[in-house]
């Protein structure tokens, strides 16, 4: 297998490579190719993962740990899962895989801080979190750490919960593959999530944005109550805003080489985390991604403090909204009246009287 | 009689403003709240139509009210047989007009449907032809109005009258011409309503459908999908803009910059390129300067063509902007593109069946809507402008004969009294005695003027008696935007607080300083960046929209002039606030939210 197929620059990832890079990286690749501003980076492919498994008999060892376990016996599952994780973490990567990762990382710059995120290939399964795909390591710096974190992501395929889930649902463990994204760390001034429909009502004429100071993890995990903005999708106008008290933020600590949680200064806590122009920029980005993907989207974004205004909004992830999109659209009770009948109905029941 | 307290007062308990005693004599008996009809009138909900008549009537000016209301009624009740709605009844109280739409009894609605379908259906099916014909009919009436001419009675009749064996005198032409002018105004008002309610109905049908698809869609988004960019209402403003650009191109702009309009026009005639420019100015004048800074309903309306200083002022503003390198022409192509974008994006979010219905209803709304906008130019601006000019000529003629002092005093008489004056003039002339009116009218006009002033000093009540539980009458909702919610707002707006609510008529949010204008004469006070606060705006105010940061009005809905123009200029607008112009004072800092329809007083 050639080294080139162990890593893929986001700019080289098209839709057909989904199996090789997982959902998250595929989406980053598609966005990059479509000209959406995305922090640069690369995917460590599932080929790399498979090569690792085949190296020094790792695959066999994993299979051995898992062949005879009873999914109902949580202790047994836990023991097996832990053993596998330890095994993966201590496993030396095949030299060519490691070299490929190091080379791709070196190409990004000198010891550039990056985020390392898992990107599983089985995200469309109903409970995608089983795959440990939430694993994210922020402010990783230096090739050694990057390599370690890639391995940690792979190990996260074997959390107790993920193993139990697969056992229960009879999903062969070895069939779930994992890619890992390595992406330039955003120095987020503010970040959050944008949905291209109103998650409360399913209203597709709205874009709802949650935003807070620092990195978006605080918004996603629910540690802070974010600012909430509602934008009319077509007119691109802010129609509602709730500014909340955002007491903590997650920011990069360059010296420590990690993202740290810190108190937000008093004067910023109740300030809007986005200006009106930024709210609209986020909304337009979400709208563009919805159009590109042809279905309502759930977009993670960040405003990078290091980039000039106008170029500082970055898309971190875009995935299809799943809850409302799966619901049947309720049709108006009566069938549509057209022509003169429509006009007679309108006169007989003017809208404002319908309440 | 009602024992419980009603939401709004009874007309019979509203006090006469001090100094306005005897005001009822100024208006015809059929506009009075009559004590003998109290039970019926008290059981009816009346709302003040300050949208069309924001100030009290001079006696003559009720002519427009009479004719307009009669025209509106005849189409609903007698021509088209609109199933749920007859006309709109009206009364005058303290100089302001109150309306009450007449609903058809629920059990009779069904039976009217087939007639309506046939009659209205005919209009919708043949809209283009009928509308083309309508323009011809109206233009013919305007021509007839233009030809109206009042001649003074001669010292002695011409010899030809005698030698020709004519046997009649010059008084006949006075009566003929006066009656003819009134008759033309009457007919023009009938034409005014020939298409209007159907236009609104088709618009509302589309509106209702889109709201059903997207319950939270802003009303202004629906308006944007329907609204055209080439309404004739924009033409006068466009002509002024073209003239400004032309003046700069020809290098004769400096000659136009000072003095009265007459002086400027004289100066430009001598300037290089001036002759060419003047030709364009003359061409634009007719018809596009038949444009009032009011709404056409008052004899006091100032029409550009009679007051060239008004368009000259706008022209100077535009010249200044052109010289500063600004592009002043409306970006019609961009506006159309934006309309298409908005339409396509909402359409995209519908299922296929709904898209078909959307296309059909939008198609009809776009066919009918130009009428809803353009009729205003032909009727209120052009035809009615000519009518008022002719009436002022008559008033001047009669003033020369001592019936009154000022050339517009005639409007303190009602139209039947004016005919009496013509009789007085004619018969005293024939008899060879001084006219009787000279010793009657100056004093009476003075008395009426005082009453009128006292009435004008008071704002009208928004409504009388109790509203129905739910307002369902379609024209109340369509033409005046009066819904159960609006009525609640009126009640609330009297309760104070630092905020005002109205319609979210054009999007955007700005903060700025208020400039409260109560009449178009004050337009010159506007400074760049001001937030315009006014009872109501008129299409001829278009040039000021290039200067302001936002607009707030007391009266008007989503399709009101201020709303349409603000959307086009990308300025926030909140309309129909009820009392912004009295609650807000010039200089106050405001936050206008055109997305939510709120105005906040910040200090």
- The DSSP string of B405-445 is SSTTGGGGS-HHHHHHHHHHHHHHHHHTS--SGGGTHHHHH
List pLDDT tens digits, range A268-281: 999 999 999 999 99
Q: Is residue A353 part of a domain?
A: no
Chain B partners within 8 Å of A328 (Cβ): none
Interchain pair B595, A237: CB under 8 A = yes
Range scoring the smallest mean pLDDT among A245-249, A283-287, B118-122, B504-508: B504-508
Q: Quick one: average pLDDT of A44-50?
A: 94
**Closest chain A residue to the Cα of B471, Cα to Cα:** A353
CB B528 within 8 A of CB B556: no
Q: Are residues A179 and A243 in the same domain?
A: no
Chain B partners within 8 Å of A205 (Cβ): 214, 216-217, 346, 349
For chain A, give the percent of residues with pLDDT over 70: 91
List pLDDT tens digits, range B541-586: 877 888 899 999 887 776 677 787 888 788 899 988 878 888 899 9
Q: Is residue B491 part of a domain?
A: no
Q: Are residues B535 and B580 in the same domain?
A: yes
Q: Is residue B369 part of a domain?
A: yes
Q: Which pLDDT belongs to residue A16?
A: 82
Chain B partners within 8 Å of A339 (Cβ): 360
Q: Quick one: average pLDDT of A133-137?
A: 72
Q: What total of structural domains would you count in chain B?
A: 5
Q: What are phi and psi of B464, to 5 degrees?
A: -130, 145
Q: Quick one: average pLDDT of B106-118?
A: 95
Would you state the structure tokens that stand for residue B586, as one six-digit string? 């010039």
Helices (H), A294-338: none
Q: Quick one: average pLDDT of B123-145?
A: 97
Where residue A134 falls among pLDDT bands split at 50, 70, 90?
A: low
A355 vs B237, which has greater pLDDT? B237
Closest CA to B476 of B463, B493, B465: B463
Where residue B2 falls among pLDDT bands split at 50, 70, 90?
A: very low
CB hemisphere CA count around A354 (13 angstroms): 12
Specify the CATH number for the domain of residue B583. 3.50.30.10
Q: Is residue A346 part of a domain?
A: no
Q: Quick one: average pLDDT of B118-134?
A: 96
Name the domain boundary from A144, A165, A184.
A184
Q: Are residues A208 and A285 in the same domain?
A: yes
| Mean pLDDT rounded to a whole number for chain B | 91
List pLDDT tens digits, range A197-255: 998 888 999 999 999 999 988 888 788 899 999 999 999 999 999 999 999 999 888 77
CA-to-CA separations, B205 to B37, B346, B350, B357, B374, in angstroms, rounded: 37, 17, 17, 11, 20
Name the domain boundary from B387, B421, B455.
B455
Q: Are residues A83 and A164 in the same domain?
A: yes
Which of A280-294, B486-500, B551-565 ranks highest by mean pLDDT?
A280-294
**Closest chain B residue to the Cα of A296, Cα to Cα:** B349
Nearest to B507 among A237, A349, A352 (CB): A237
A212: left (phi over 0), alpha (psi -120 to 50) or beta: beta
Range scoring the smallest mean pLDDT among A63-67, B490-494, B525-529, B532-536: B490-494
* Whether residue A329 has pLDDT greater than 80: no
Interchain pair A351, B211: CB under 8 A = yes
Q: Are residues B268 and B309 in the same domain?
A: yes
Q: Are residues B16 and B94 in the same domain?
A: yes
Where residue B1 falls among pLDDT bands split at 50, 70, 90?
A: very low
Specify the CATH number for the domain of residue A230. 3.30.470.20
How would you classify the pairing of strands B573-575 and B550-553?
A: parallel
Q: Which pLDDT belongs to residue A337?
A: 84
Q: Are residues B214 and B337 in the same domain?
A: yes
Q: Is residue B425 part of a domain?
A: yes
On whether any CB of chain A is under 8 Å from the CB of B535, the answer is no
Q: Are residues B212 and B141 in the same domain?
A: no
Name the domain boundary from B475, B505, B526.
B475
Q: Which pLDDT belongs to residue A236?
A: 94
**Closest chain B residue to the Cα of A333, Cα to Cα:** B212
Interchain pair A350, B509: CB under 8 A = no
Would you state the structure tokens that stand for residue A184, as one six-digit string? 């330039």
Q: Are residues A197 and A174 in the same domain?
A: no
* Whether residue B95 has pLDDT greater than 90: yes
A206 vs B527, which has greater pLDDT? A206
Q: Are residues A206 and A310 in the same domain?
A: yes
ipTM > 0.90 for the complex? no
Chain B partners within 8 Å of A338 (Cβ): 357, 360-361
- The 3-state DSSP class for residue B380 equals helix
Q: Which pLDDT belongs to residue A131?
A: 47
Q: Is residue A354 part of a domain?
A: no
Tell me how far the alpha carbon of residue B537 is from its chain's centroid: 9
Q: How far is B216 from chain A (nearest CA, A)?
A: 8
Q: Are residues A98 and A147 in the same domain?
A: yes
Q: Are residues B290 and B368 in the same domain?
A: no
Where residue A1 falls among pLDDT bands split at 50, 70, 90?
A: very low
Q: Which residues contact A89 (CB under 8 A, 6 or more apart)?
A: A148, A151, A152, A155
Interchain pair A347, B83: CB under 8 A = yes
Q: Which pLDDT belongs to residue B495?
A: 61
Q: Is residue A64 part of a domain?
A: yes
B570: left (phi over 0), alpha (psi -120 to 50) or beta: left
Where residue A136 falls among pLDDT bands split at 50, 70, 90?
A: confident
Q: Quick one: average pLDDT of B584-600?
A: 91
Q: Is residue A88 part of a domain?
A: yes
Q: Quick one: average pLDDT of B65-82?
A: 96
List pLDDT tens digits, range B313-366: 999 999 999 999 999 998 899 999 999 999 999 999 999 999 999 999 999 999
List pLDDT tens digits, range A55-110: 888 888 888 888 878 878 888 888 888 999 999 998 889 999 999 999 999 999 99
d(CA B574, CA B580): 10
CB hemisphere CA count around B202 (13 angstroms): 27
d(CA A229, CA A279): 7
- The 3-state DSSP class for residue B60 equals helix
Chain A partners within 8 Å of B507 (Cβ): 232, 235, 237
CB B463 within 8 A of CB B45: yes
B560 vs A286, which has greater pLDDT? A286
On whether any CB of chain A is under 8 Å from the CB of B354, the answer is yes
Q: Are residues A90 and A192 in the same domain?
A: no
Q: Which pLDDT belongs to residue B347?
A: 96
Q: Is residue B114 part of a domain?
A: yes
Q: What total of structural domains would you count in chain A?
A: 2
**Locate tokens 């985390």: which residue?**
A273
Residues 159-198 of chain B with CB under 8 A from chain A are none
Q: Which pLDDT belongs to residue A328?
A: 64
Q: Which of B208, B360, B480, B509 to mutate to test the interface with A (most CBs of A within 10 A)?
A: B208
d(CA B65, CA B61): 7
d(CA B284, CA B278): 10
Q: Are residues A10 and A153 in the same domain?
A: yes
List pLDDT tens digits, range B354-373: 999 999 999 999 999 889 88
Q: Is residue A19 part of a domain?
A: yes
Q: Which pLDDT belongs to residue A333?
A: 54
B546 vs A296, which has greater pLDDT? A296
Q: Is residue A217 part of a domain?
A: yes
Q: Which pLDDT belongs to residue A122?
A: 65
Where residue B229 falls among pLDDT bands split at 50, 70, 90?
A: confident
- The 3-state DSSP class for residue A355 equals coil
CB B385 within 8 A of CB B138: no
Q: Are residues A83 and A71 in the same domain?
A: yes
* Whether residue B381 has pLDDT greater than 70: yes
| Mean pLDDT rounded to a whole number for chain A | 87
Q: Is residue B4 part of a domain?
A: no
Q: Are residues A160 and A63 in the same domain?
A: yes
Chain B partners within 8 Å of A199 (Cβ): none
Interchain pair A232, B221: CB under 8 A = yes
CB A143 within 8 A of CB A105: yes
Tell me how far the alpha carbon of residue B418 is from its chain's centroid: 24
Q: Is residue B341 part of a domain?
A: yes
Tell me how far the alpha carbon of residue B467 is from its chain's centroid: 26
Q: How far is A353 from chain B (nearest CA, A)?
A: 5
Q: Are residues A215 and A250 in the same domain?
A: yes
* Whether residue A347 has pLDDT greater than 90: no
The residue segments making up the domain with residue B252 are: 232-329
How big is the A-B interface in CB pairs under 8 Å? Answer: 106
d(CA A352, CA A333): 18
d(CA A164, CA A143): 33
Residue B369: DSSP 8-state? H
Cβ density class B55-83: b for 16+ within 10 Å, e for less: bbbbbbbbbbbbbbbbbbbbbbeeebbbb
Q: Are residues B71 and B214 in the same domain?
A: no
Q: Are residues B24 and B45 in the same domain?
A: yes
Q: Is residue A344 part of a domain?
A: no
Interchain pair A343, B202: CB under 8 A = yes
d(CA A105, CA A118): 16
Q: Are residues B549 and B519 in the same domain?
A: yes
* Whether residue B3 has pLDDT greater than 50: no
Where residue B467 falls among pLDDT bands split at 50, 70, 90?
A: confident
Q: Which pLDDT belongs to residue B563?
A: 80
On whether any CB of chain A is under 8 Å from the CB of B109, the answer is yes
Name the domain boundary from B412, B441, B475.
B475
Q: Which residues contact A6 (CB under 8 A, 6 or more apart)?
A: A44, A45, A47, A48, A51, A96, A97, A100, A101
Chain B partners within 8 Å of A340 (Cβ): 117, 120-121, 124
Closest CA to A280 of A234, A320, A317, A218: A234
Q: Is residue B128 part of a domain?
A: no
d(CA B65, CA A4): 84
d(CA A167, CA A160): 11
**Closest chain A residue to the Cα of B210, Cα to Cα:** A351
Nearest to B218 among A232, A336, A338 (CB): A232
Q: Are residues B418 and B559 in the same domain?
A: no
- The 3-state DSSP class for residue B350 equals coil
Q: Quick one: average pLDDT of B216-232?
A: 88
Where residue A290 falls among pLDDT bands split at 50, 70, 90?
A: very high
Interchain pair B474, A347: CB under 8 A = yes
* Whether residue B504 has pLDDT greater than 50: yes
List pLDDT tens digits, range B393-436: 999 999 999 999 998 999 999 999 999 999 999 999 999 999 99
Q: Which of A294, A333, A352, A354 to mutate to test the interface with B (most CBs of B within 10 A)?
A: A352
Residues 45-104 of chain B with CB under 8 A from chain A are 82-85
* Whether residue A119 has pLDDT greater than 50: yes
d(CA B603, CA B601): 6
d(CA B93, CA B15): 10
Q: Are residues B343 and B207 in the same domain?
A: yes
Specify the CATH number for the domain of residue A129. 3.30.1490.20
Q: Quick one: average pLDDT of B500-512?
A: 87
The residue segments making up the domain with residue A229 are: 188-320
Q: Is residue B126 part of a domain?
A: no
Q: Are residues A22 and A125 in the same domain?
A: yes
Q: Which pLDDT belongs to residue A338?
A: 85
Q: Are residues B409 and B354 in the same domain?
A: no
Interchain pair A205, B116: CB under 8 A = no
């Amino acid at each position: 297998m050639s080294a080139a197929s162990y890593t893929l620059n986001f700019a080289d990832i098209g839709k057909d490579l989904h199996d090789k890079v997982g959902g998250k990286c595929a989406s980053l690749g598609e966005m990059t190719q479509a000209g959406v501003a995305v922090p640069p980076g690369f995917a460590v492919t599932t080929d790399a993962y498979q090569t690792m498994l085949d190296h020094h008999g790792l695959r066999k060892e994993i299979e051995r740990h898992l062949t005879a376990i009873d999914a109902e016996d949580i202790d047994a599952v836990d023991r097996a899962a832990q053993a596998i994780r330890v095994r993966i973490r201590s496993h030396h990567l095949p030299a060519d895989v490691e070299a490929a990762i190091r080379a791709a990382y070196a190409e990004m710059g000198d010891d550039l801080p990056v985020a390392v995120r898992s990107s599983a290939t089985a995200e469309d399964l109903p409970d995608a979190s089983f795959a440990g795909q939430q694993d994210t390591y922020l402010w990783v710096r230096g090739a050694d750490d990057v390599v370690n974190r890639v391995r940690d992501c792979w190990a996260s395929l074997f959390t107790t919960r993920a193993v139990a889930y697969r056992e229960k649902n009879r999903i062969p463990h070895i069939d779930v593959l994992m890619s890992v994204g390595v992406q330039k760390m955003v120095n987020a001034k503010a970040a959050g999530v944008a949905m291209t429909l109103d998650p409360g009502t399913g209203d597709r004429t709205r874009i709802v944005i949650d935003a807070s100071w620092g990195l978006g993890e605080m918004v996603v995990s629910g540690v802070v109550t974010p600012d909430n903005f509602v934008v009319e999708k077509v007119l691109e106008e802010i129609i509602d805003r709730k500014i909340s008290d955002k007491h903590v933020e997650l920011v990069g600590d360059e010296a420590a080489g990690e993202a740290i949680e810190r108190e937000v200064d008093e004067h910023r806590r109740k300030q809007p985390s986005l200006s009106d122009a930024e709210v609209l920029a986020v909304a337009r980005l979400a709208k563009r991604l919805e159009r590109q993907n042809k279905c309502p989207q759930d977009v993670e974004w960040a405003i990078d403090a290091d980039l000039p205004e106008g170029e500082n909004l970055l898309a971190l992830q875009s995935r299809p909204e799943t809850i409302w999109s799966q619901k049947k659209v309720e049709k108006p009770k009566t069938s549509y009246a057209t022509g003169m009948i429509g006009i007679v109905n309108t006169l007989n029941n003017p809208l404002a009287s319908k309440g | 009689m009602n024992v419980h307290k009603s939401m709004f007062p009874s007309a019979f308990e509203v006090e006469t403003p001090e100094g306005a005693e005897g005001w009822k004599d100024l208006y015809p008996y059929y506009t009075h709240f009559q004590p003998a009809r109290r039970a019926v009138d008290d059981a009816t909900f009346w709302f003040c139509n300050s949208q069309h008549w924001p100030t009290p009537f001079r006696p003559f000016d009720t002519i427009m009210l009479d004719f307009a209301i009669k025209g509106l009624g005849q189409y609903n009740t007698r021509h088209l047989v609109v199933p749920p709605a007859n006309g709109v009844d009206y009364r005058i109280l303290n100089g302001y007009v109150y309306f009450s739409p007449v609903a058809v009894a629920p059990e009779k609605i069904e039976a009217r449907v087939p007639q309506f379908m046939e009659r209205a259906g005919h209009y919708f099916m043949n809209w283009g032809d009928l509308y083309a014909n309508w323009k011809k009919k109206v233009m013919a009436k305007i021509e007839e109005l233009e030809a109206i001419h009042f001649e003074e009675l001669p010292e002695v009749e011409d010899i030809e009258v005698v030698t020709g064996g004519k046997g009649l005198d010059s008084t006949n032409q006075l009566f003929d011409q006066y009656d003819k002018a009134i008759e033309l105004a009457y007919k023009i008002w009938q034409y005014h309503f020939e298409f209007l309610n159907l236009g609104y109905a088709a618009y509302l049908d589309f509106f209702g459908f889109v709201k059903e698809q997207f319950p939270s869609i802003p009303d202004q988004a629906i308006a944007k999908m329907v609204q055209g960019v080439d309404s004739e209402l924009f033409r006068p403003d466009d002509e002024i803009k073209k003239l400004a650009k032309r003046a700069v191109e020809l290098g004769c702009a400096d000659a136009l910059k000072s003095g009265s309009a007459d002086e400027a026009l004289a100066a430009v005639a001598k300037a290089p390129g001036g002759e060419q420019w003047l030709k364009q100015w003359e061409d634009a004048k007719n018809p596009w300067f038949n444009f009032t800074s009011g709404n056409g309903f008052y004899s006091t309306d100032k029409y550009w063509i009679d007051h060239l200083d008004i368009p000259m002022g706008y022209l100077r503003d535009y010249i200044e902007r052109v010289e500063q390198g600004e592009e002043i022409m409306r970006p019609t192509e961009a506006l159309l593109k934006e309309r298409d974008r908005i339409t396509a994006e909402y359409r995209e979010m519908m299922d296929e069946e709904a898209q078909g219905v959307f296309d059909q209803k939008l198609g009809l709304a776009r066919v009918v809507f130009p009428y809803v906008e353009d009729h205003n130019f032909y009727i209120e601006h052009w035809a009615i402008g000519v009518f008022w000019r002719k009436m002022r000529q008559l008033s001047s003629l009669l003033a020369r004969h001592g019936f009154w002092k000022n050339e517009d005093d005639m409007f303190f008489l009602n139209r039947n009294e004016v005919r009496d004056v013509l009789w007085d003039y004619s018969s005293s002339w024939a008899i060879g005695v001084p006219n009787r009116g000279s010793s009657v009218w100056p004093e009476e006009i003075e008395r009426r003027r005082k009453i009128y002033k006292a009435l004008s000093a008071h704002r009208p009540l928004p409504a009388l008696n109790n509203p129905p539980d739910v307002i369902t009458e379609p024209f109340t909702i369509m033409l005046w935007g009066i819904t159960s919610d609006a009525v609640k707002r009126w009640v609330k707006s009297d309760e104070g607080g630092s905020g005002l609510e109205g319609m979210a008529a054009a999007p955007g949010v700005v903060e700025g300083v208020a400039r409260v204008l109560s009449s178009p004469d004050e337009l010159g006070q506007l400074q760049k960046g001001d937030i315009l606060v006014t009872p109501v705006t008129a299409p001829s105010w278009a040039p000021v929209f290039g200067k302001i940061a936002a607009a707030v009005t007391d009266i008007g809905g989503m399709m009101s002039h201020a709303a349409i123009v603000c959307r086009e200029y990308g300025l926030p607008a909140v309309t129909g606030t009820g009392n912004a112009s009295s609650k807000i004072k010039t200089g106050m800092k405001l936050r206008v939210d055109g997305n939510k329809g709120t105005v906040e007083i910040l200090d």
